[in-house]
Amino acid sequence: MAFCQSCGREIPNDSKFCPHCGATQTTAQNGFQPNMNFNQTFTTANNLPMNWYKFLIYVALFLGAISNAYAGIQLVTGGQYQDMASWVYLYYPSLKMIDVVIGIVSIALAIFAIVVRQKLANFQSDGPKMLLMLYIGSIAMSVIYLILFMGVVGRDADINSSTILASLSVSVVMAIVNKIYFDKRQHLFIY
């Protein structure tokens, strides 16, 4: 098998056109399709660098999944309150239900991050849209949790709102940046 010189996907050796993107394939003097290096192909596909894509699928989405899973487990078990969980839930009984529901949503987002990673890694057409949905879901979960938490705890809340706002701002920026990034590379995601 050889690789398309335009999109980098695997194609039959004797292909004159890529069955995926339609690009014309040049042949070497011996009549065989040149076998291009995968990394070389995708770092230069249509002169668009793919380093951010590689960082997302090999690092960022895995770390995000681990972070969401850890946060979800902490919320479900009350681990974020350390040894004071029973006292906190005794004083604010409705907080336990909020923590458990948001914890389950956080674990679901961790699983969804792995699904998105697989979609992007396999160049599936819905991968970029699902990545945007992942960021929007994370933002929505954080905002809803903050509102519910503040509604239950009120003025007793010992919470650093500037840290939460900074985190939300980063998520919004990441959603926008990834939307722009993948809109320019949508032609690569054709499966």
User: What is the DSSP-derived secondary structure letter of residue 92?
Assistant: S
- What global pTM score does this model have? 0.72
| Contact of 6 with 23, CB cutoff 8 Å | yes
Using one digit for the tens of pLDDT, what is the confidence trace for 98-151? 999 999 999 999 999 999 999 999 989 999 999 999 999 999 998 998 889 888
Q: How far apart are CA 174 and CA 176, in angstroms?
A: 5
Residue pLDDT tens, the chain, 191 long: 677 777 777 787 777 777 777 777 876 433 444 444 444 444 444 557 788 999 999 999 999 999 999 999 999 999 988 889 999 999 999 999 999 999 999 999 999 999 999 999 998 999 999 999 999 999 999 899 888 988 888 876 666 566 677 778 888 998 999 999 999 888 888 77
Distances from the Cα of 97 to the Cαs of 78, 93, 110, 132, in angstroms?
Answer: 11, 8, 20, 28
Token pair 């990034």 is found at 181
